[in-house]
Amino acid sequence: MRIERVAIIGLGLLGSSIGLALRERAPGIATTGFDANPNVRAKAEELGLVGVVCESPAEAVREADLVVLCVPVGAMSEAAAAIAEALPARAIVSDVGSSKQSVARALAEALPGRCVIPAHPVAGTEESGPEAGFATLFVGRWCILTPPEDADPEALEALSDFWAGLGARVEVMDAGHHDLVLAVTSHIPHLIAFTIVGTASDLEEVTRSEVIKYSAGGFRDFTRIAASDPVMWRDVFLNNREAVLEMLGRFTEDLTALQRAIRSGDGETLHDLFSRTRAIRRQVIEQGQDESKPDFGRSH
């Protein structure tokens, strides 16, 4: 199975980055695109994000070998329904959502009997919109595929090759396990960032200007995460609620234990925790998920 025509539905950060990556790394693949926002479609055409910007999702997918739904996870069902009638029988349908069990259910219901293989490129920035995309977004990053048990092996191989061609490292994983892993590595950190930044802005004893002016490294970096697309993250938490709540319960227990250690002056417990977390940071760098430059390589 060869992927020669790709339709991208949703031309924000991830959709635009896929289009630009294909233009740079696989110029032989024909691309079409659609976004529900006419202003985004106009900007996509201006930036040349895809070969043809279409006026309807049906038009975009009509001859596609692969359709990538780059919409918030809460909009997957609606997006799939909009392409169902025009979708070629041979086409693979995939996505880029951060919650996989809910996406798998939504796509299976909207596209019965179709070749659906959900995917999650673990890459992104706090920016959104068609101008935010760039061709190297996926280089060296993981893309997790969560195929159903009856997935066509040839289609799975073709989708794996597609993401590898964009520079990603591909992993195949059960959808439920994916949702637990990402709840820990992505969803809970975002929830904490949203909470901390919101708490700081609500403090009566500290003015908002002081919070901004004296933002030390920790708070400053939380604000970067907390600047992420609110629609996307609202849908992630609502659609991955079981895994998020399970991991949030674990985190709450650990936070309570830490609170007890601080209150009782238990320096040994604090030192042990901080030593273990420091080791985790070294492992993240060793895996190539970040670099070792101080302060994330910022210039001062």
Res 198: pLDDT = 84
Confidence band (pLDDT; 50, 70, 90) for 118? very high
User: What's phi and psi for 216, nearest 5 deg?
Assistant: -75, 175
Res 25: pLDDT = 96
pLDDT at 296 over 60: no
Strands (E) across the chain are located at 5-9, 30-34, 52-53, 66-69, 92-95, 115-116, 119-121, 142-145, 169-172
Question: What digits encode the pLDDT tens for the residues 211-252?
Answer: 767 666 677 778 878 888 888 889 889 988 898 999 999 899
3-state percent helix, strand, coil for the chain, nearest multiple of 5: 55, 10, 35
List Cβ neighbours of 129 (8 Å cut-off, separation of 6 or more).
12, 13, 16, 40, 43
What Å distances lie between residue 190 and 76, 153, 198, 223, 282, CA to CA? Answer: 22, 35, 12, 10, 21
User: What's phi and psi for 119, nearest 5 deg?
Assistant: -145, 155
Question: What digits encode the pLDDT tens for the residues 25-43?
Answer: 999 999 999 999 999 999 9
Q: Answer yes or no: pTM beyond 0.75.
A: yes
Return the axis-axis angle of helices 100-110 and 76-83, rounded to nearest 10°.
30
Res 12: pLDDT = 94
Name residue 67's beta-bridge partners. Answer: 7, 93
Return the axis-axis angle of helices 241-264 and 188-202, rounded to nearest 10°.
60
Pair 80, 111: CB distance under 8 Å:
yes
Pair 278, 270: CB distance under 8 Å:
no
- 3-class DSSP assignment, residue 68: strand
Count other Cβ atoms within 10 Å, centred on residue 86.
18
- The reply to whether 5-173 and 177-287 are identical in fold is no
Confidence band (pLDDT; 50, 70, 90) for 190? confident
Q: Both tokens of residue 128?
A: 């959104």
Mean pLDDT across 268-285: 86
Q: Which option is the CATH number for 5-173: 3.40.50.720, 3.30.750.24, 1.20.1440.230, 3.50.50.60? A: 3.40.50.720
> Domain ranges in the chain?
5-173, 177-287
pLDDT at 297 over 60: no
Domain 177-287 class in CATH: mainly alpha
